[in-house]
Amino acid sequence: MAFHGYEEVEHTADVALRVWSEDFPGLLSQAAKGLYELTDIDSDTNSTVNRCFFIPSGNYENEIVDFLNELLFFLEEKSEIYRKFSFFERQDKLEVHAEGCKALSQDRYIKAVTFHDLNIEESDLGLEVVITFDV
């Protein structure tokens, strides 16, 4: 099995994604890729966007929810999606540098990332989590 990745998993009412990676920055990046795949976005690969934003420090569960909700905000408000991330730990926040492109359209809309049964666990793969999205 790959050292990192994601897959959609069945959920009764919402949409869920199983994500795994060797470390937390990788988990964030894979979760972002999975989020964008779930929304089935058509993007303008000829455009380039760069953004820097901050996530308040906390436990990993809070940080992944805040990170993904920020990505949803930028998708909805700025029509931006990001494919490459750099993460920098600061005293009380996580600094995120994101590179991507403009989104042209999407087939599925996600309202929010939830804390429903969210628990990041250590596994043979490194870190693993199932994330539930409110659609």
The CATH number for 63's domain is: 3.55.10.10
For residue 131, tell me if it sits in a domain.
no
Is residue 55 assigned to a domain? yes
In this predicted structure, what is the pLDDT of residue 123?
A: 87
Q: What is the mean pLDDT of each run of 10 residues along the chain (135 residues)?
A: 80 86 97 95 95 96 98 97 97 97 94 94 91 92
- How many domains does the chain contain in total? 1
Position 33 in a domain: yes
Given this model, what pLDDT does residue 10 score?
81
Provide the whole-model pTM. Answer: 0.94
Q: Considering the domain boundaries, does residue 108 fall inside one?
A: yes
* Three-class SS of the chain: CCCCEEEEECCCCCEEEEEEECCHHHHHHHHHHHHHHHHCEEEEEEEEEEEEEEEECCCHHHHHHHHHHHHHHHHHHHCEEEEEEEEEECCCEEEEEEEEEEEEEECCCCCEECCCCCCCEEECCEEEEEEEEEC
Q: What is the pLDDT of residue 2?
A: 62
pLDDT at 135: 87
28 in a structural domain: yes
Domain presence at residue 124: no
pLDDT of amino acid 78: 97
